[in-house]
Structure 1
């Protein structure tokens, strides 16, 4: 067998997505040679043309810099996988329509790239995985006769803040062998000196519990909001009273849609891991997923919805984002399409939804407005229409 030729330090599989691309750019900007492999040809072409396929603060400048320096390239050719010392897998790991996790997603993806892997490579799993998937991948490689080191190093960034948090947050490195632990830790020390070394199963649970903890906190806030609102009390004033100069309650969130591609999914993965005995997680899901219906029910008490057109302001799952994955704005829209006379939606960043209307049209035609994504553009919005603002973006309270 001829000696393997290493042409790049790192290849990121799924490297033109929301998680993979910022990581690839960050590593390249710290001096490594990096390739992003992605099956999305359109995304690859955009990236190679110096254009980001999604919003990510600070990433455009880095992309321009590393392309010019020749330290980074994107490709849809899988052969690049074999040319790297380290392979980082970043793929989506969704739950199905019954909220069951798919523990085969990563092993399936691994089987597709297996022909291009080589002995001696370090394989890093970066996707959030069902607990035990890292061990399955290790066995899968052994059974195929491949000798690769394996580590699980979960991403921890918030969308929009990747180019900051990749360098400031501690990196979790989970590996079973000293060699894998040392190599993975050395790689991420290009980004930060703060490395937390753990077992793979500890890292898997740490990632799921991190997102689940956030989801539960949001559910507590949303439940508090419903309690207060049902009794005519402004939850935001209560929250101010609770948190003002009181550090033990400083992390009490405001109300709002707890959505996106991670929080619900990872809570349900943890629920499945506990054989569906995770009562707190399921309760959080009922509260958070039920908020759009609650708001519509409250609207029905104050407005003649069958005669009203409702304008939805923001369809991204979070503020200042163009990402609509698992956005509860669309759940709100579906409910209103059944209960209201008409529904119009707008978003200053989302370009993937042809049904969206310009803001001016929504303001003109709607009878009542609902802020579904708290974009800054809506903070100083001038309108004489009633605005439902559960986020308190406009500072006028959250009573509905």
Structure 2
């Protein structure tokens, strides 16, 4: 029997897999990162991050130099690993149906290199039942491996803190598999929470759907106040002031990114598309750019105005534009405004212009992503700030 050791992460060059690999390697494990993105693999092996993640650059360089972390495009890299961790995107399609085969498909690319005795850890957010589907697929291919579902729980920009600070959910069909997964993640945190696989699959979807619904509530409240000519920021500050039961009421803003909307729709599909709260949240959050433009049309003659969009990432301080509603806002304004100019200090996009140019050329400005740089913005032009970043209220 082949001697197994170390960790291989399938999808290890991405925003979830790479921080996990760095964290495990920094705790002394030998980690291989298998990814089909050759450019990301080359950057990682040169000791450089392919994307921004605070606190990750130094341990990446250190673990690569020490030989504990390497990246590869070779699927055979999974063959000698004791732990094979699957971290791949699990999107919904154009009809908002989940892709049940995303994780099994990733394993299929290297199934010929999998070995008996390995522990396969599913890390991606999955539709309930995908863990069982993976177990069935592996058994059908004659691979006698343990399977565990241990969902990632980090937020982009906080990975190198939260991987060590947050409890780790561990779920497996057998005690032996759960114990192996627990031993692996105890390299990162002593706080382990045990669940059954289907419980853990729902727990992850519940978490992201809850956040999406909470943001939708804040956005709906903002619209109500806004339509009445009242500043939601003043109301929220009063409600939350020394009042713990309202402390988690967010400010309004674009609820976007690659997870919250998608996972809310996965949960809806799981419940036979009977998820009134989730679908209502989608209508509110996805409709926010249209609402914002409608309000602007009430105040300005957009056809005669150049509009500057400040921030194209899906969240503050990020270089990740995936599923950003700032791009949806851009599409609407391309039809409505005289000109639309976009900028972002982090996002790489050839269509973007420097901040100074956008501020100079635009007649009005919209803060679409609350990057901290925009809090210091000084201009006499109208600034639409639904985030409350500039401290001047959020009435539009």
Secondary structure of residue in 2 paired with 1:83: coil
**2:59 aligned with 1:44, yes or no?**
no
Matched residue, 1:333: 330
Match of 1:215 in 2: 212
1:5, CA displacement in angstroms?
3.6
**Corresponding residue number in structure 2 for 1:98:** 95
Shift of 1:218: 0.1
> Post-superposition shift, 1:308?
0.5
Match of 2:263 among 254, 261, 266: 266
Question: Residues 98-139 of structure 1: CA distance to partner in whole angstroms, max 9, x if unpaired?
Answer: 211111111111211110100000000000000000001111
Residue 190 (structure 1) aligns with: 187
Equivalent-residue separation in structure 1 for 2:265 and 2:97 (angstroms): 7
Q: How many residues align?
A: 396
| 1:392 paired residue number | 388
Give the Cα–Cα distance (whole angstroms) in 1 for the partners of residues 98 and 366 of structure 2. Answer: 32
Q: Kindly report which structure 2 residues correspond to 1:165-314, keeping only aligned pairs within 5 A, or say none.
A: 165-314=162-311
Determine the structure 1 residue equivalent to 2:350. 354
Describe the SS at the equivalent of 1:67. Answer: helix
Match of 1:345 in 2: 342
Aligned equivalents of 2:359, 2:248: Cα separation in 1: 34
Residues 1:4 and 2:9 are matched in the alignment? no
The partner residue of 1:321 within 318, 328, 337 is: 318
C-alpha distance in 2, partners of 1:384/1:361? 15
Q: Select the residue among 354, 361, 364 that pairs with 2:360.
A: 364
Q: String of CA shifts for 1:339-397, please: whole Å, max 9, x gaps.
A: 1111000000011x110001111011000000000000100111121100000000000
1:10-67 per-position Cα deviation (integer Å, ceiling 9, x unaligned): 0001001000000000000001011111000000001111110111000001101111
Match of 1:23 in 2: 20
Residues 62-109 of structure 1, C-alpha deviation per residue, up to 9 Å, x if partnerless?
101111211111111111110101000000000111211111111111
- In 2, the alpha carbon distance for the partners of 1:107 and 1:272 equals 19
Runs of 4+ in 1 over 3 A off after TM superposition: none
Aligned-residue RMSD, C-alpha: 0.7
Q: Which runs of 5+ in 2 are unaligned?
A: none
- State the 1:225 CA deviation: 0.2
Q: Distance in 2 between matches of 1:109 and 1:80?
A: 14
Distance in 2 separating the partners of 1:339 and 1:388 = 16
Match of 2:140 among 138, 143, 150: 143
Mapped partners of 2:3, 2:50: distance in 1? 31
